[in-house]
A = this chain, B = another copy of it.
């Protein structure tokens, strides 16, 4: 069986195979070494994620095809919806978000002790973008998400990683280092442009490499054309 990486998260994961998406970029990068498995659920927060862990990670998988090499856990953008605005039904209080992330990590590590769990913080929020592209009519003139709140959830995510000894992509900080990140990296103040997707892809590849998962270390599936003896290509398949 070819090893696999599961991408678990909300809409920013579900949409990661759109054009220029970070999921398809990973699938392409690892096209001969790993399978990328998409488990993104638009709108989900960590509270809802905990309701579906058994269905997202069925026990049968551990028998049939082994433990995943890695799982990215990328939640927080919905948890960080403010409790008094139109996205309130998605809001999860900060302390509960942190506890939920711990529970998600525990579930995975109990099922597959060897699997690398890579946390990803929510992205920064461009509040102007949220006002221009609200999900529902929003006469309040106030965004349902703020960058400050997203930052608090990002900080909690980083703490959970630290408390579990896990790697983490601090997307909230990383993205804000780019000039014009508000429009260059975000379509609607929340979801990612191809440039924003590129930040996620680059950071995930770096973190995986730091944990020993890279094109240099992973076995290639089946002989590469470049390695074949053109005078006797079938020899490559004999072993």
Contacts and interface: CB of A to CB of B under 8 A. Distances in A.
Nearest to A233: B89
Interface in A42-63: 42-44, 47-48, 51-52, 55-56, 58, 60-61, 63
Nearest to A62: B64
B38 A37 contact: no
A24 B201 CA distance: 15
Nearest to A64: B64
A117 to B, nearest CB: 20
A1 B1 CA distance: 16
Contacts of A17: 24-25, 27-28, 31
A76 interface: no
A41 B233 CA distance: 14
Contacts of A231: 89
A122 interface: no
B52 A60 contact: no
A3 to B, nearest CB: 13
B55 A65 contact: no
B89 A230 contact: yes
B61 A1 contact: yes
Contacts of A64: 60-61, 63-65
Given A1-B60, A225-B43, A233 B48 contact: yes
A14 interface: yes
A56 B35 CA distance: 12
A159 interface: no
Interface string A204-239: 000000000000000001101100101101100100
Interface of A: 1, 14-15, 17-21, 23-25, 27-28, 31-32, 35, 37-38, 40-44, 47-48, 51-52, 55-56, 58, 60-61, 63-65, 89-90, 221-222, 224-225, 228, 230-231, 233-234, 237
Given A19-B25, A23-B27, A89-B230, 8 more contacts: A15-B31, A17-B27, A31-B40, A51-B237, A60-B65, A63-B64, A89-B233, A90-B233
Top 9 A-B residue pairs of the complex, sorted by shortest distance between their CB atoms? A64-B64, A43-B225, A24-B24, A51-B237, A17-B28, A17-B27, A89-B230, A17-B24, A64-B65
